[in-house]
Amino acid sequence: MKKGKFKYIVIILILVIYAVCMYLAFGVSETREREASTTILVGDAAVWDYSSRNWMNVTTPSLLSKLNWQSFHVYIDHEYLGDYLVWNDDEWYIFDENRQSVSYQGELFAYQADFDMNILSYETTDITDYTYARQVLEEHGLSPDSQYTLATVSSLDFDKDGVDENFYVISNVFAMDFFPDKYFSFVFMVDDDTIYMLYEDVDVNEGVNGCMPNLYTVADLDNDQDNELILTCAKYSNQTPVAMLYEFRDNAFEIKISNQ
């Protein structure tokens, strides 16, 4: 083989190896990112679309009606109900493959995606140990002996380390048989004796102002292997509840998207 020809073959080989390495380093991860797209229904509060690493509210009637008769994986109260066709008329109705209406009771969460979403199952019970609730109230200048209209805790392994974190939801909004000067609503996670706040709202109580928070769904919604969390907050009037999607980054919760 001539020396010149050999040199060309070596150069071509190096280019091919370089191209393969670049594809493995960037092409594959880009493909993976592009694949993570999903549309989720948060009850009747929000429709969120995720693609190209961006969350978007779907609100226009023309975009919403495009979802009609599409198949979604449907969960009620964090439990898988089945795959159903959905149809929207201010609220979501679900149908089987024969377009027969299927009734449901509870909180609807539904998604379609190009990946399998892991929705965490968990139970919510009334708080029996008020240590952290009292601590949060005191830190916000409220009486630690305040009465509540809601005081629940949900245990689930949010950070996937094999140990459950506790998510507390406490509130005194919409009190009927007592009238606090200030209303409060807090949602916080306790992990290893540390409190991480998600939602805090304190203001002068006018009877039915404020909103009642609710831990709605915990799942890896964007397929990046970390869990996200959806909170809703219901107003007293029949306005659309606030819906917020949180991720946990650098030891703090931050809102990625909200419907308001």
Q: Which residues bind Ca ion (CB under 5 A)?
A: 157, 159, 161, 163, 165, 220, 222, 224, 226, 228
Shorter beta-carbon distance to Ca ion: residue 53 or 140: 53
- Nearer of residues 35 and 224 to Ca ion, judged by Cβ: 224
Based on CB atoms, which residue is closest to Ca ion, 145 or 192? 192
Q: Least distance (Å) from Ca ion to the CB of residue 178?
A: 36
Q: What are the structure tokens assigned to 21, written together?
A: 């390495």
By beta-carbon proximity to Ca ion, the closer residue of 137 and 244 is 244
Report DSSP letters for 91-138, one per residue: EEEEE-TT--EE---S-EEEEEESS---BPP--EEE-S--HHHHHHHH
Whole-number Å distance between alpha carbons of 108 and 217: 10
In one-letter notation, the amino acid at residue 219 is A
Q: Cα angle at 239 between 235 and 242, to 5 degrees?
A: 60
Please report how close the Cβ of residue 192 comes to Ca ion at its closest, in angstroms. 9
Q: Is 260 helix (H, G, I), strand (E, B) or coil?
A: coil
CB of 159 to Ca ion, least distance (A): 4
The answer to whether residues 185 and 198 touch, using CB atoms and an 8 Å cutoff, is no
Nearer to Ca ion, 79 or 161 (CB): 161
State in angstroms the smallest separation of the CB of 34 from Ca ion: 16
